[in-house]
């Protein structure tokens, strides 16, 4: 059972297994263990980003493709839901329609980018994706009648997913079971299922061909694999998964805008999450995304505590001021890349 | 026009095959036919164009002029993967492996390519026992079975050469192309590879092209020798006759000295 779920790809390290189980338990029980709007927001974001980062690792770590268009596909998913639901009304039908349209659009675009430009060298491909992604972000902010421009789109969802909907009369384990909890579990289970699907893809015969192409595309061609074809297929699979992550994020936030999905800042975050977690292993996405999102959300709080505690000591409180959180996040990254070049998962496995 | 696959018709034929790099003609108007069940050695001094000729045949390079036909079908426009799928297999002169993947994986990828299973996305690779068993069989044949789980990069040079050959065997081609398969191998490892080439030859229906420098190897294996010199085909015939010919003595063995 577990073997089938994990596609025979075990964590291969006791510490990593414990860490992954802790993350899984934390996310599965988040509404009960970490009650409160903000912590549930963070938990949902972790779920979405695990999927997004895992799909990016399929490209970067497994296939050796450097793409900057990944948040574009993330954005297509989110905007697909947002546009469909705000135009056609908050029904399940429009939600499904928007999702399917977004997935189709992403697959087509990924195929097009792949076939037209995966023949060129890595660096040129990266530049092309950067251009396409920037173009898309500008398009989304300019077509304001359609996409809501810089403000984005806020919309209603089917009633079951709204926070005002109560499902149980009495609270369960002290937590009110409402539409927000339903959407959280929708996000959680969908992200988990898609993550396991990606884990299967990288451990399939196809996944091994991708690794072979990453290692030596010349030789992969010589034994009969057309690398352009396989790279394009990988690009499509990754784009579909990224769009699915975007769809889930749009369901969770009930908002889609340039800053939550399309922006290149998110692309950079995803890149960092892959590197911190460990490239070329799906479990790296879990660890990287979880740590990053939590740091992004709670480092400021932690610093405020530290800054207050250090009150009276000269200079230190200023250094620990919450406004300096980006500085500290940066230092944490530099240290982690220096200390764990193979990522946290690589480090844990090498022990 | 496609011709029937029989012993009289060549498996592979090159027609006036040439390639130019700038002003340098690396392979010049080479026309040659290779028949099933034969082993042809291609010899010539360094820089004679042997490996370039191989690259033109297996599709790593496109010719400036001329054609390549496989069973009478023009394959000049086909890329390397398509040629491989039509039954050509090549082992490289410079070891050319998937360094971070295990020895078994290296071979299994070739088995999988032969089985046409590359686009299988939703099964676990390790569950395809028949592919793994076949890969193990080829590792056994090159005497690498005990290193199956080591990364290819960790192998000694001689073992990497053997792995290179195992990958070629795993493609199960009709046409085998060996580019100096024993180069850099220690003396006691060479017989393993030569024995394998003998076995392939004794199957009777396979066509083998062999680029080789060692004259004793060529003598013991080849049915025919062709000599390339400065990109041109200068001699073609039975081993004893070609080796004795003045042009080979001069061009290849360098016995007459240089100009």
Q: Which residues neighbour A344 within 8 Å (Cβ) at sequence distance 6 or greater?
A: A276, A277, A278, A284, A287, A288, A291, A336
pLDDT at A2: 87
Which residues in A lie closer than 8 A to residue B120 (C-beta atoms)?
204-206
* Distance from the B178 Cα atom to the nearest Cα atom in chain A, whole angstroms: 13
Of A4, A201, A218, the CB nearest to B96: A218
Note whether B125 contacts A200, CB cutoff 8 Å: no
Confidence of residue B251 (pLDDT cuts 50, 70, 90): low
Q: How confident is the model at residue B1 (pLDDT cuts 50, 70, 90)?
A: very low
Domains defined for chain A, CATH in brackets: 2-350 (1.10.3470)
By C-alpha distance, which of B199, B142, B148 is closest to B176? B199
Top pLDDT among B251 and A299 is at: A299
Residue from the list B85, B125, B167 with its beta carbon closest to the beta carbon of A208: B125
Report the alpha-carbon distance of residue A211 to residue A209 in Å, rounded. Answer: 5
pLDDT computed for residue B254 by the predictor: 57
Chain A: give the shortest CA distance to residue B100, in Å: 7
A175-189 burial, b if ≥16 CB within 10 A, otherwise e?
Answer: ebbbbbbbbbebbbe
Average pLDDT, chain B: 89
pLDDT tier at B257 (50, 70, 90 boundaries)? Answer: very low
Q: Which residues of B touch A4 (CB under 8 A)?
A: 124
Mean pLDDT of chain A: 91
Q: DSSP letters of A283-339?
A: HHHHHHHHHHHHHHHHHHHHHHHHHHHTTTSSSHHHHT-GGGHHHHHHHHHHHHHHH
| Alpha-carbon distance B124 to nearest alpha carbon in chain A (angstroms) | 5
Tens-digit pLDDT profile for residues A197-221:
999 999 999 999 999 999 999 999 9
Cβ A215–B109 below 8 Å, yes or no?
A: no
Q: Is the pLDDT of residue A274 over 80?
A: yes
- pLDDT at A93 exceeding the cut of 50: yes
Using CA atoms, how far residue A14 sits from A4, A22, A277, B149, in Å, is: 20, 12, 16, 22
User: Measured between CA atoms, how close is B114 to chain A, in angstroms?
Assistant: 8
| Percent of chain A whose predicted confidence (pLDDT) is above 90 | 63
DSSP, res B73: E
Q: Measured in Å, how far apart are chain B's first and last C-alpha atoms?
A: 46
The third-level CATH classification (topology) of the domain covering B1-85+211-259 is Rossmann fold (3.40.50)
**Given this model, what pLDDT does residue B2 score?**
45
Give residues 114 to 133 of B whose Cβ lies within 8 Å of A. Answer: 114, 117-128, 131
Higher-confidence residue: B253 or B72? B72
Q: CA of A209: which chain B residue's CA is closest?
A: B118
Instruction: Give the DSSP letter of residue B219.
Output: H
Mutation target to probe the B interface, by most B beta carbons within 10 A, among A1, A2, A205 is A205
Instruction: Please tell me if residue A2 touches chain B, with a CB cutoff of 8 Å.
Output: no
CB-nearest partner of A205 from B60, B120, B167:
B120
**What pLDDT sits at residue A334?**
87
- Give residue A43's pLDDT band: very low, low, confident or very high (50, 70, 90): very high
Phi/psi at B36 (5° precision): -65, 145
Please indicate whether residue B2 or residue A340 has the higher confidence score (pLDDT): A340
Most B CBs within 10 Å, among A119, A197, A200, A219, to test the B interface: A219
Give A144-147's long-range contacts (Cβ < 8 A, gap of 24+). A146/A83, A147/A79, A147/A82, A147/A83
Band (B189; pLDDT cuts 50, 70, 90): confident
Q: State mean pLDDT over B65-92.
A: 94
pLDDT in tens, A176-196: 888 899 999 999 999 999 999
Question: Which residues in chain A (223-262) have CB-CB distances under 8 A to chain B?
Answer: 223-226, 230, 233, 237
| A77-88 pLDDT per residue, tens | 999 999 999 999
Q: A36 phi and psi, to 5 degrees?
A: 115, 145
**B109-113: average pLDDT:** 96
For residue A64, list chain B residues with Cβ-Cβ distance below 8 A. Answer: none
Of A4-8, A282-286, A327-331, which has the strongest mean pLDDT? A282-286
Residue B159 has pLDDT above 70, yes or no: yes
CB-CB neighbours of A259 under 10 Å: 11
A61, A283 in Cβ contact below 8 A? no
Residues of A63-86 as b/e, b for ≥16 C-beta within 10 angstroms? Answer: bbbebbbbbbbbbbbbbbbbbbbb
Q: Looking at residue A121, what is its pLDDT?
A: 77
Residues 201-230 of A with CB under 8 A from B: 201, 203-209, 211-212, 215-216, 218-226, 230
pLDDT cut 90: percent of chain B above it: 68
Side-chain-side CA neighbours of residue A225 (13 Å): 30
Write down the domain spans for chain B.
1-85+211-259
Q: How far apart are CA A262 and CA A137, in angstroms?
A: 6
Pairing of β B65-70 and β B12-21: antiparallel
> Is pLDDT at A22 greater than 50 in this prediction?
yes
Rounded to the nearest angstrom, the minimum Cα separation between B224 and chain A is 26
Q: Is the pLDDT of residue B83 over 90?
A: yes
Of B58, B100, B126, the CB nearest to A215: B100
Nearest chain B residue (CA) to A213: B98
The residue among B80, B104, B175 with the most chain A CBs within 10 A of its CB, best to mutate, is B80
CA distance B196 to A83: 64
CB-CB neighbours of B148 under 10 Å: 18
Measure CB to CB from residue B90 to each of A216, A222, A237 and give the nearest one: A222
Q: Sorting pLDDT into bands at 50, 70 and 90, what band is B173? A: very high
pLDDT at residue B245 is higher than 70: yes
Give this complex's ipTM.
0.89
Would you state the pLDDT for residue A235? Answer: 95
* A6: nearest CA partner in chain B: B124
Q: Choose among A197, A203, A221: nearest Cβ to B124.
A: A203
Q: Given this model, what pLDDT does residue B258 score?
A: 41
């Amino acid at each position: 059972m577990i073997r089938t779920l994990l596609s025979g790809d075990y964590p291969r390290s006791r510490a990593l297994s414990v860490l992954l189980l802790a993350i899984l338990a934390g996310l599965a029980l988040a509404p009960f263990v970490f009650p409160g709007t903000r912590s549930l927001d963070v938990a949902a974001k972790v779920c979405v980003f695990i999927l997004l980062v895992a799909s990016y690792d399929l490209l970067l770590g497994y296939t050796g493709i450097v793409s900057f268009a990944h948040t574009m596909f993330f954005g297509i998913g989110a905007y697909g839901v947002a546009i469909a639901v705000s135009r056609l009304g908050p029904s399940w039908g429009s939600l499904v329609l928007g999702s399917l349209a977004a997935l189709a659009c992403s697959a087509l675009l990924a195929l097009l980018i792949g076939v037209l430009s995966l023949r060129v060298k890595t660096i040129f491909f990266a530049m092309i994706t950067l251009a396409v992604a920037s173009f898309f972000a500008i398009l989304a902010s300019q077509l304001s009648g359609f996409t809501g421009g810089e403000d984005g789109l806020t919309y209603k969802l089917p009633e079951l997913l709204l926070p005002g909907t109560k499902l149980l009369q009495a609270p369960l384990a002290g937590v009110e079971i409402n539409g927000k909890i339903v959407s959280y579990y929708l996000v959680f289970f969908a992200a988990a299922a898609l993550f396991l699907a990606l884990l299967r893809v990288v451990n399939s015969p196809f996944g091994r061909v991708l690794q072979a192409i990453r290692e030596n595309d010349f030789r992969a061609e010589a034994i009969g694999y057309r690398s352009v074809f396989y790279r394009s297929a990988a690009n499509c699979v990754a784009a579909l998964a990224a769009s699915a992550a975007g769809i889930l994020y749009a369901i969770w936030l009930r908002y889609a805008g340039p800053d939550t999905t399309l922006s290149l800042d998110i692309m950079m975050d995803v890149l960092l999450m892959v590197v911190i977690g460990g490239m070329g292993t799906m479990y790296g996405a879990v660890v990287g995304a979880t740590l990053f999102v939590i740091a992004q959300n709670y480092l400021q709080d932690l610093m405020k505590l530290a800054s207050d505690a250090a009150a009276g000591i000269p200079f230190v409180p200023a250094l620990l001021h919450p406004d300096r959180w980006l500085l500290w996040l940066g230092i944490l990254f530099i240290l982690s890349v220096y200390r764990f070049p193979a990522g946290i998962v690589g480090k844990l496995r090498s022990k | 026009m496609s011709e029937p696959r029989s012993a009289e018709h060549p498996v592979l034929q090159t027609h006036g095959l040439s390639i130019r790099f700038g002003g340098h003609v690396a392979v010049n108007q080479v026309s040659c036919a290779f028949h099933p069940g034969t082993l042809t050695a291609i010899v010539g001094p360094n820089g004679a164009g042997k490996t370039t000729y191989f690259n033109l045949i297996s599709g790593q390079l496109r010719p400036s002029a001329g054609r390549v036909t496989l069973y009478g079908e023009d394959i000049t426009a086909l890329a390397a993967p398509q040629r491989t799928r039509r039954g050509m297999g090549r082992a490289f002169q410079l070891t050319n492996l998937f360094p971070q993947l295990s020895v078994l994986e290296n071979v299994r990828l070739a088995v999988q390519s032969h089985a046409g299973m590359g686009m299988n996305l939703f099964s676990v690779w390790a569950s395809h026992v028949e592919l793994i068993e076949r890969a193990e069989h080829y590792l056994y044949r090159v005497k690498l079975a005990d290193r199956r789980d080591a990364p290819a990069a960790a192998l000694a040079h001689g073992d990497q050469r053997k792995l290179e050959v195992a990958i070629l065997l795993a493609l199960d081609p009709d046409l085998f192309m060996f580019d100096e398969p024993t180069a850099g191998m220690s003396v006691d490892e060479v017989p393993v590879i030569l024995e394998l080439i003998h076995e392939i030859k004794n199957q009777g229906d396979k066509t083998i092209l062999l680029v080789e420098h060692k004259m004793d190897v060529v003598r013991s294996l080849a049915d025919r020798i062709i000599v390339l010199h400065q990109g041109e085909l200068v001699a073609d015939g039975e081993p004893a006759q070609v080796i004795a010919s003045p042009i080979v003595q001069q061009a290849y063995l360098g016995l007459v000295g240089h100009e």
